[in-house]
Chains A and B, each alone.
Chain A
Amino acid sequence: MIQPTGMLGEDGIHVDMDHLKKGEVNLGTSIMAINFKDGVILGADSRTTTGSYIANRVTDKLTQVHDTIWCCRSGSAADTQAVADIVQYHLGMYGVENDEAPTTQTAAALFQEICYENKDNLSAGMIIAGYDQRHGGQVYSIPLGGSLHKQTYAIGGSGSTYIYGFCDANWKEGMTEEEGIDFVKRSLQEAIKWDGSSGGVIRMVVLTAKGAQRHLYLPDNGYTGPGYK
């Protein structure tokens, strides 16, 4: 039976878990973004699945839409890539036309508009995080229906269900960069451990006044390195 994405099943209780088209690539995922003392950190696992098959084990789910505005993508890979592409175009135009870099909220507003207006056709859960000099670091979450939530930190994807308690217990305001990276890494490790659709490496992006810096942590050495690059 074909059902629109994100709709309840016939019984009105169970969410349709089998909403992807046959063969469609899913980001069964663990993603998160946090605020810390100097900006924001985005983190994600790297598993992409087609049903039970791992289509890509080193996926990059952290996508840049402007210099220091990035997003974490969960849901359909095709949908979220398309949405991020559109927003990247708009933000690029904004920067050129107004001679001023767009802010994180501008990006969040654009993401929300697209996700809300096309909610019936999209399977996209996104976390937007960015840094600008005026507002510092900011984290926005846009879950399935297209609502917009400004948060101190946000977690998303199928793996996030396993780490709500962990994050709540370990969250601290105003962490240092080192503490922040550790928090994200440990959270995602837990998510990967419990969620069958999450796995692979842990990728992170740190956004501060200094710009964007990528981190990579491999399972081979228990996610201890290689670190930033």
Chain B
Amino acid sequence: MTSIGTGYDLDNSVFSPDGRNFQVEYAVKAVENGGTSIGIRCKDGVVLATEKLVTSKLMKAGANKRIATVDRNIGMVSAGLLPDGRYLVSRARQETASWRQIYKSPMPVASLAGRLGSFVQMFTMNGGLRPFGITAIVGGWDSEGDMAVDGQVGAGPSVGAGGKASGKKYGGPFLYMIEPSGLYWGYYGAATGKGRQAAKSELEKLDLSAGALSLEQGVKEAARIIYVAHEDSKDKEFELEMTWVSGLSGPTKGQHQEVPKELREEAERLAKKALEGDDEMEE
């Protein structure tokens, strides 16, 4: 059934006779036009990367960051309508802040994804709202260490608490992707935006579910995948933006940060080299 001209696609809170919500489907179209964004869940951290299209040479290079830090341990990037992405980030920040206010500890990534999923869903159902024109990727690290309570007096007893179950692991890397419908899943590798198909097939080759890919390797793969995904719009200039978050023993000590310049440039060099290699093989 076609959507156009039926009248069922004009309002967000209306079903078509065959049970579709066309406004949500149209919102997805807005996502599909945005620059490619990906996230990779590695064994010791998460990488987020985005293809930032340079629409004008008057734009300030290196400014206009697109990957946001939500809480110290969580990052977020989206594809689609830029202001919608920014609004969802501000909502995510409110969620993590209010979580801290109540529980005095950082919000688990899974809980944040759940809250954002519900929030985005609300915009597909209520009249007087439109769906979000973005797909958001949320990546973070839940601390593996003992959690303190924010504001607790003193560090507590020096002797460890008794009765800990041994051999169990807690925390770790988490990655979620939230769609305009409010649907969200956990991922090993997530991709959205214009080049998502190419990016997805590259992500699948990495066998991420085996949990063998290291964070540093993940950074290089992320750079390469963004470059591969950019192939279809080669004529447009872009900047690669990458962030990462590792465990307490890793390079970022549990915090979401920009990938250091040297490492990013090295990853970009390798990405370009890999692309050239591909071209030669085709010849």
Interface residues of A (CB under 8 A from B): 35-40, 90, 94, 97-98, 100, 103, 105-106, 108-110, 112-113, 131, 133-138, 140, 147-152, 173-174, 208-209
Are A109's CB and B108's CB within 8 A? no
Residues of A within 8 A of B164 (CB): 133-136
Are B149's CB and A148's CB within 8 A? yes
Residues of B within 8 A of A37 (CB): 162-163
Residues of A within 8 A of B146 (CB): 134-135
Residues of B within 8 A of A134 (CB): 146, 164-165, 168, 170
B5 at the A/B interface (Cβ < 8 Å)? no
Are B103's CB and A35's CB within 8 A? no
Q: A38-B163, A137-B162, A174-B159 are in contact. Are A149 and B148 (CB under 8 A)?
A: no
Q: A134-B170, A150-B154 are in contact. Are A105 and B163 (CB under 8 A)?
A: no
B277 at the A/B interface (Cβ < 8 Å)? no
Contact of B103 among A100, A110, A208 (CB under 8 A): A110
Known contacts A40-B162, A133-B164, A150-B149; 19 further A-B pairs (Cβ under 8 A): A35-B159, A35-B162, A38-B163, A94-B103, A106-B105, A112-B149, A135-B147, A135-B161, A136-B162, A136-B164, A136-B165, A137-B161, A140-B149, A147-B153, A149-B153, A149-B154, A151-B156, A152-B157, A174-B162
The 5 sampled A-B contact pairs (Cβ below 8 Å) are A37-B163, A98-B108, A105-B147, A109-B102, A150-B149
How far apart are B120's CB and chain A's nearest CB, in angstroms?
17
- A134-B164 Cα distance, complex, nearest whole Å: 6
- A26-B240 Cα distance, complex, nearest whole Å: 65
Are A152's CB and B159's CB within 8 A? yes
The residue in chain A whose Cβ has the minimal distance to the Cβ of B168 is: A133
B232 at the A/B interface (Cβ < 8 Å)? no
Are B156's CB and A209's CB within 8 A? no
Are B163's CB and A109's CB within 8 A? no
- A79-B244 Cα distance, complex, nearest whole Å: 47
Are A148's CB and B170's CB within 8 A? no
3 closest A-B pairs by beta carbon, nearest first, are A150-B156, A109-B104, A136-B161
How far apart are B202's CB and chain A's nearest CB, in angstroms?
32
Find residues 137-177 in chain B having any chain A CB closer than 8 Å to their own CB: 146-157, 159-165, 168, 170
How far apart are B161's CB and chain A's nearest CB, in angstroms?
4
Residues of A within 8 A of B156 (CB): 150-151
- A209-B164 Cα distance, complex, nearest whole Å: 8
B14 at the A/B interface (Cβ < 8 Å)? no
Residues of B within 8 A of A174 (CB): 159, 162
Residues of B within 8 A of A151 (CB): 156-157
B33 at the A/B interface (Cβ < 8 Å)? no
- A113-B104 Cα distance, complex, nearest whole Å: 9
Chain B 103-121 near chain A by CB (<8 Å), digits 1 or 0:
1110010110010000000
- A97-B108 Cα distance, complex, nearest whole Å: 12
Are A148's CB and B153's CB within 8 A? yes
- A156-B151 Cα distance, complex, nearest whole Å: 21
Residues of A within 8 A of B152 (CB): 105, 108, 140, 148-150
Q: A110-B102, A148-B149 are in contact. Are A137 and B163 (CB under 8 A)?
A: yes
Contact of A35 among B101, B105, B108, B157 (CB under 8 A): B157
The residue in chain B whose Cβ has the minimal distance to the Cβ of A141 is: B153
- A110-B104 Cα distance, complex, nearest whole Å: 8
- A131-B164 Cα distance, complex, nearest whole Å: 9
Residues of A within 8 A of B151 (CB): 112, 148
- A35-B151 Cα distance, complex, nearest whole Å: 22
Residues of A within 8 A of B163 (CB): 37-39, 131, 136-137, 208-209
- A20-B101 Cα distance, complex, nearest whole Å: 31
The residue in chain B whose Cβ has the minimal distance to the Cβ of A105 is: B149
- A103-B156 Cα distance, complex, nearest whole Å: 16
- A112-B152 Cα distance, complex, nearest whole Å: 9
Are A105's CB and B161's CB within 8 A? no
How far apart are B106's CB and chain A's nearest CB, in angstroms?
12
Q: A98-B110, A133-B164 are in contact. Are A103 and B159 (CB under 8 A)?
A: no
The interface centre, meaning the residue of B104, B111, B114 with most chain A CB atoms within 10 A of its CB, is B104
- A105-B155 Cα distance, complex, nearest whole Å: 13
Are A209's CB and B165's CB within 8 A? yes
How far apart are B113's CB and chain A's nearest CB, in angstroms?
11
